[in-house]
Amino acid sequence: MRKTFAAAVALLALVALAPRRSVAQFIGYTSAQTTVSTPVNNVSCFTAVNTGPFLVSNIGQAAHFLTLTGNANGLQQLSYTLQGSYDGSHFFDISDVATYTVNSAGLTGVSATGYYPVVAVSVGVCSPNAATITLQYSGISMTPGAAQGTNQIGQLVKNIAVLAPANTGLSSAVFRTPFGSAGGTLQFAYVGGAGPAGSTLTVSCGSNASFVPVAAGPFTLQTPNTTQIFQIPPVSCPYFQVLYTSGGASAVNFNLDYSFFPPGISAPAYQFTHITGTTATAVKATRGFLHNLTVNTGGAGTISVFDLASSSCTGTPATNTVAVITSVAATLQTFGFDVNLLNGICVKASVAMDLTVSWQ
């Protein structure tokens, strides 16, 4: 009996000394936290372009927002993006390209979605060097919806210049289009008075390395300081560049925005050329789209249309004939074409008439 009792006591002692199983306590679900920072805080354009990219706090956020909240000292050109990286050395854009925009009083932004080990802010273009900018970042763990408000403006509207001198030509930075299409409008205005006569705007499209194809233009600018709007056709355009060619001496400046149509929205982007003489007229110097030709005041003669570049639209062309129209005196006629011409649009009348050519 004593032996049995001693064995039982020993067993209880061993059980008491054995390690107890721990049970984890549930403290609730967790997720990445919201983070806010100012990666570019009142920084000069020179520093912003030459120092970045500027890293932001990354604690697992999957949605990213970047907003231009302040600028000073006569900012004329600006582009900035959100960038991601897997190794901290090679960065790539994860957002649309945002700009300083005249129409939104300088407050613009962009957003991006996805988790990246490293997230940063990059300033591509900023001038003049002494101007200063402030960019604020915020990140959250959830997936954002469609771009709205400031971020939607940053996606749709690309600024080319703010108060740029009208007496100097300007070739914009290379921008990526938001939807791969050139469809939209150029909005131009001289500021401070009438601009120089003969100034033009041209939009070119292509890859990031080549901008040979001309999507629209050249558009001849009027001299009054009122807003001038030019429709750009919805042609394939991964990257675009806008060229302002000055007509000469001037003491005024100009503002220029490029507003893109969202997918599913477009507008006819036809330009016109008025012809009254018999000289061969290069309606479009490079490839284009011929919509129609209207004879406002006819004459007993012919109107010839050619698929020729401007360098070949001289004298009496005899190649690449698209149409030869027989015109009737004192008769209003409109001829529809809706065809692509690969070299250019060239028109020549055999006798003096009043013609209007509609084209892209």
Q: What DSSP letter does each residue of 53-77 carry, written as one string?
A: -EE---SS--EEEEEEEEEES---E
Q: How far apart are CA 176 and CA 221, in angstroms?
A: 25
Q: Quick check: 256 and 186 in contact, CB under 8 A?
A: yes
- The whole-number average pLDDT for the span 178-187 is 89
In tens, the pLDDT along 157-179 reads: 888 888 889 999 988 888 889 88
Asked whether residue 27 carries a pLDDT value surpassing 90, the answer given is: no
In tens, the pLDDT along 32-78 reads: 578 889 999 999 999 999 988 999 988 888 889 888 886 666 788 88
Where does the chain have alpha helices with state H?
Answer: 2-17, 45-51, 149-156
Structure confidence at residue 29 as a pLDDT band (50, 70, 90): low
Q: Exposure pattern of 306-319 as b/e (b: 16+ CB <10 Å)?
A: bbbbbebbeeebee
Q: What is the pLDDT of residue 104?
A: 46
Task: For residue 274, list its beta bridge partners.
Answer: 356
Please indicate, yes or no, if residue 330 is contained in any of the structural domains.
yes
Task: Please give the span between the terminal C-alpha atoms of the chain, in angstroms, as a whole number.
Answer: 112
Among the candidates 269, 297, 319, a domain finishes at 269
Its pTM stands at 0.64
Among the candidates 241, 269, 297, a domain finishes at 269
In tens, the pLDDT along 274-308 reads: 999 999 999 988 888 899 999 998 888 999 999 99
Q: What is the pLDDT of residue 329?
A: 81
Please indicate, yes or no, if residue 23 is contained in any of the structural domains.
no
* Residue 196, SS3 per DSSP: coil
| Domain co-membership, 144 together with 176 | no
11 token code pair:
């067993």
| Domain co-membership, 170 together with 261 | yes
For residue 202, what is the domain's CATH number? 2.60.290
| Residue 170, domain extent | 166-269
| Domain co-membership, 92 together with 144 | yes
| Domain co-membership, 243 together with 325 | no
Question: Is the N-terminal amide bond of 196 cis, ω within 30° of 0?
Answer: no
| Domain co-membership, 193 together with 253 | yes
Which amino acid would we find at residue 1?
M
Asked whether residue 357 carries a pLDDT value surpassing 90, the answer given is: yes
Q: Residue 71: which residues within 8 A CB-CB, separation 6 or more?
A: 78, 100, 106, 131, 132, 133, 134
For residue 146, what is the domain's CATH number? 2.60.120
Please indicate, yes or no, if residue 174 is contained in any of the structural domains.
yes
Asked whether residue 347 carries a pLDDT value surpassing 80, the answer given is: yes
Asked whether residue 17 carries a pLDDT value surpassing 60, the answer given is: no
Q: How far apart are CA 301 and CA 350, in angstroms?
A: 6
Please indicate, yes or no, if residue 320 is contained in any of the structural domains.
yes
Q: How far apart are CA 335 and CA 322, in angstroms?
A: 12
Among the candidates 224, 243, 269, a domain finishes at 269
- The whole-number average pLDDT for the span 325-343 is 86
Average confidence score pLDDT of the chain: 83
| Domain co-membership, 48 together with 132 | yes
Portion of the chain with pLDDT greater than 70, in percent: 83
- Using alpha carbons, list the distances in angstroms from residue 310 to 23, 82, 123, 230, 345: 84, 42, 39, 22, 8
Q: What is the pLDDT of residue 331?
A: 75
Q: How far apart are CA 38 and CA 55, in angstroms?
A: 10
| Domain co-membership, 110 together with 130 | yes
Q: How far apart are CA 144 and CA 65, in angstroms?
A: 10
Most confident range (mean pLDDT) of 28-37, 63-72, 144-153, 245-254 is 245-254
Nearest 5°: CA angle at 267, between 305 and 218?
A: 50
| Domain co-membership, 85 together with 145 | yes
Q: What is the pLDDT of residue 269?
A: 66
Task: Tell me which of 318 and 147 has the higher pLDDT.
Answer: 318
Please indicate, yes or no, if residue 122 is contained in any of the structural domains.
yes
33 token code pair:
């936290």
Number of independent structural domains in the chain:
3
